[in-house]
Amino acid sequence: MAELSYASGPSTRPLLGDTIPAHFTLTAAAHAEAQALVDRHSGRRWTYRQFDRDTDALAVGLLERGVAKGDRVGIWAQNVAEWALIQYATAKIGAILVNVNPAYRTHELEYVVRQSGMRLLVSQITAPPHSDYHVMATEVAAKVAGLDLVFLDTLPHDLLGEAVIGERESFALLLDLGRRLLGDPNAKYAIRLRQAMGELSTDDPINIQYTSGTTGFPKGVTLSHHNILNNGFFIGELLSYTPADVVVLPVPYYHCFGMVIGNLAALSHGASIVLPSPGFDPLASLQAVAEEKATSLYGVPTMFIAELEHPEFPAFELGSLRTGVMAGSPCPVEVMRRVIDDMNMTEVAICYGMTETSPVSTMTRVDDSLDARTQTVGRVMPHLEVKIVDPVTGLTVPRGQKGEFCTRGYSVMLGYWEEPDKTAEAIDAARWMHSGDLGIMDEDGYVDISGRIKDMVIRGGENIYPREIEEFLYHHPKIRDVQVIGVPDEKYGEELMAWVILKDGAETLTAEEVREFCAGELAHFKIPRYVEVRDSFPMTVSGKIRKVVREEGERIAQRTSAS
């Protein structure tokens, strides 16, 4: 009988039983004078001792502000040091951090604020070139009762803008308040903080990350200390992280890639995090690697391509690099070869998973072949189980046969925030998380992700579900019906194409008109690049758009890109 597509991850290291702050306290004490965080854009640096003290102060400031265990605190910012400070400060008091995508606009922000029951939103004031967070956050706060705002007025001028904020809205004053209270000679606030930390459980919800769903609205993936601390820790173990490692992090903090694979993997091992720029900048990333003597660099394939093809790439000395993580979308073989050969990243790893699994379920190892790192997403992570099942019967298929990829273990989310029905659809009675991805497991346990059951589009590492965009475009005055599909794109992997049927009386609709309608309401990566007007859609009996439409869409996209 053929071996089944099931694998479990052995480990000589037990799972961590700590909360995030308890584990960090031990790490900070052991590496007090080592560098923890570098924000190159602002020129600021924190040792572990300083980072621990500032997150203590921020935590006390939040407590004094009335934030309590279980309250939802949003963070809406690019990759700035304050993001990491908020991540650890909220963890210290048991507040639930809500990650808000920096690309969101008013429509999306309001939904996330309402759905999470957000108590406080910590926000940038602006983000170059076009995002006025102050205006959008203020507009949402006026609509949602009980939402408190704090703006990051500690950033460089180009991230501040010209908005006028009050004292209560000042991040700098909140942090200073905490520092002053911690200096109380009776130490009552330090005692209060220790009591708050002592009331935490590893299974408490500590993070909500919103991921798009086929219902058209994002779902709040709810993760615990145990989920993300252990996932980050074991990623760091497989990357062989030590206090000597310096990790350059151009991937976004709002995503698991930044805050778990990045922050928690590195800081749980006493390593250093370097933020090269608030938004991705290939030149800034290369400069950070060279000048900080980085040992590790992260990115989705398009980021690595941009760095490799930068005209100044040959001028940088990257000999300090040895490892890193590439994830988000499949890696072309030639790109991986160049990353290994030209960037010295001989131990670079491929990670695969989903936000609902904290995120990594499989990962390549240091000694895996080039083929394994380009044709598979590695093997099961320590302490986890994975299997490939028949999507219809639910039975585990033999190795070498295609089916749905599933994960079980410590990494599986607590559920979708306040959506038990959606949770039950994703996690079965035996606690297996169903990914919706099609995969094949080979005889050695390596997994190849070969497609998607769902109609998800992956554009430059961003997971996009067409239904959400379709529901928004239905509000366009010219559109009667719309179907959004993904078409191949050389740069981003996939791009969005909207097929539309116009309302009576409407004669034309251009891609530019659609982009203008979406601007300021949808994140830029959700705005269709191509628009095709038709009288009708060829549909299957079950109501799905037929494959012929996708094939024709690919041809149209190719012609448009070439012209």
Predicted pLDDT of residue 454: 66
pLDDT digits (tens, 9 = 90+) for 544-562: 455 556 677 778 887 777 6
Q: E strand or H helix at 342, and its extent?
A: helix 333-342
Q: Which three-class secondary structure state does DSSP give residue 203?
A: coil
- Whether the Cβ atoms of residue 202 and residue 17 lie closer than 8 Å to each other: yes
Query: Do 395 and 503 reside in the same domain of the chain?
Result: no
- Nearest one of 492, 512, 508 to 500, comparing CA atoms: 508
The predicted-structure confidence for 35-59, as pLDDT tens digits, reads as follows 999 999 999 999 999 999 999 999 9
Reported as a single tens digit per residue, the pLDDT across 372-431 is 988 899 999 999 999 999 988 999 999 999 899 999 999 999 999 999 999 999 999 999
> Is 177 found in the same domain as 109?
yes
Q: How confident is the model at residue 243 (pLDDT cuts 50, 70, 90)?
A: very high
Confidence of residue 215 (pLDDT cuts 50, 70, 90): very low
403/343: higher pLDDT:
343
Cα distance between residue 501 and residue 537, in whole Å: 8
* Residue of 317, 267, 323 whose CA lies nearest to 288: 317
> Rounded to the nearest 5°, which phi and psi values hold at 183?
-85, 0
DSSP-assigned letters across all residues of 503-550 = PTT-----HHHHHHHHTTTS-GGGS-SEEEE-S---B-TTSPBPHHHH
Sheet hosting strand 403-409, strand order edge to edge: 6-8, 384-389, 403-409, 433-441, 447-452
Assess whether pLDDT exceeds 50 at residue 543: no
The structural domain count of the chain equals 3
Full residue range of the structural domain in which residue 55 is found: 47-201
- Find all residues with CB under 8 Å of 389, minimum gap 6, and list them: 5, 395, 396, 397, 403, 404, 406
Q: What is the mean pLDDT of the segment spanning 240-254? A: 98
Q: What is the pLDDT of residue 173?
A: 98
Length of the chain, please? 563
Residue 240 lies in a domain: no
Give the residue from 263, 280, 281 showing the smallest Cα distance to 272.
263
Task: Indicate if 500 and 531 belong to the same structural domain.
Answer: yes
pLDDT digit string, tens, across residues 156-209: 988 988 899 999 999 999 999 999 999 999 999 999 999 999 999 999 999 999
Domain end, chosen from 452, 480, 509, is at 452
Per-residue pLDDT at 542? 33
Per-residue H/E/C for 443-498: CCCCEEEEEECCCCEEECCEEECHHHHHHHHCCCCCEEEEEEEEEEECCCEEEEEE
Q: Among residues 400, 424, 452, which one ends one of the domains?
A: 452
The single residue listed with the structure tokens 């990650």 is: 99
410 within a domain of the structure (yes/no):
yes
Query: Is 32 within a domain?
Result: no
Q: Are residues 481 and 406 in the same domain?
A: no
Residue 70 lies in a domain: yes
What does the pLDDT read at residue 174? 98
Predicted confidence (pLDDT) at residue 540 exceeds the cutoff of 70: no
* Residue 289 reports pLDDT greater than 50: yes
Which residue is it, tokens 């409407």? 506
* Structure confidence at residue 549 (pLDDT): 64
- Verify that 110 and 155 share a domain, yes or no: yes
CATH number at residue 518: 3.30.300.30
Tell me if 181 is assigned to some domain.
yes
- Give the pLDDT score at 546: 57
The domain spanning residue 426 has which CATH number?
Answer: 2.30.38.10
In a domain, 407, yes or no: yes
The DSSP secondary-structure symbol of 315 reads G
Domain end residue (candidates: 452, 487, 521): 452
Q: Are residues 358 and 495 in the same domain?
A: no
Residues 66 and 191 both lie in one domain: yes
pLDDT in tens, 422-479: 999 999 999 999 999 889 999 999 999 876 676 678 888 887 877 788 878 988 999 9
Task: Give the whole-angstrom CA distance, residue 166 versus residue 254.
Answer: 26
Residue with token string 């991921």: 211
Average pLDDT over the chain, rounded to whole?
92
In the 3-class helix/strand/coil scheme, how is 110-178 assigned residue by residue? Answer: HHHHHHHCCCEEEECCCECCCECHHHHHHHHHHHCCCCEEEECCCCCHHHCCCCCCCHHHEHHHHHHHH
Q: Is 403 helix (H, G, I), strand (E, B) or coil?
A: strand
- pLDDT tens string 85-120: 999 999 999 999 999 999 899 999 999 999 999 999
Asked if the structure places residue 291 within a domain, the reply is: no
H or E element at residue 323: strand 323-326
Residues 401, 377 within the same domain: yes
409 Cβ partners below 8 Å, 6+ apart? 383, 384, 385
- For residue 213, pLDDT over 60 is answered with no
Query: Where residue 172 sits, what CATH number does that domain have?
Result: 3.40.50.980
Nearest-CA neighbor of 102 among 261, 221, 277, 247? 277
Q: pLDDT tens-digit profile of 483-522?
A: 888 888 888 989 999 999 898 899 899 999 999 999 999 9
Mean pLDDT, range 310-331, rounded to an integer: 93
Q: Are residues 121 and 154 in the same domain?
A: yes
DSSP 313: G
Considering the domain architecture, whether residues 377 and 500 belong to the same structural domain is answered as no
* pLDDT tier, 238 (very low <50, low <70, confident <90, very high otherwise): very high
Quote the percentage of the chain above a pLDDT of 90.
77
pLDDT at 129: 79
Asked if 194 and 54 sit in the same domain, the reply is yes
Residue 542 maps to a domain: yes
Among candidate residues 523, 491, 55, 106, the one with its CA nearest the CA of residue 309: 491
| 373 and 518 belong to one structural domain | no
Instruction: Kindly tell me if the per-residue pLDDT of 317 is higher than 60.
Output: yes
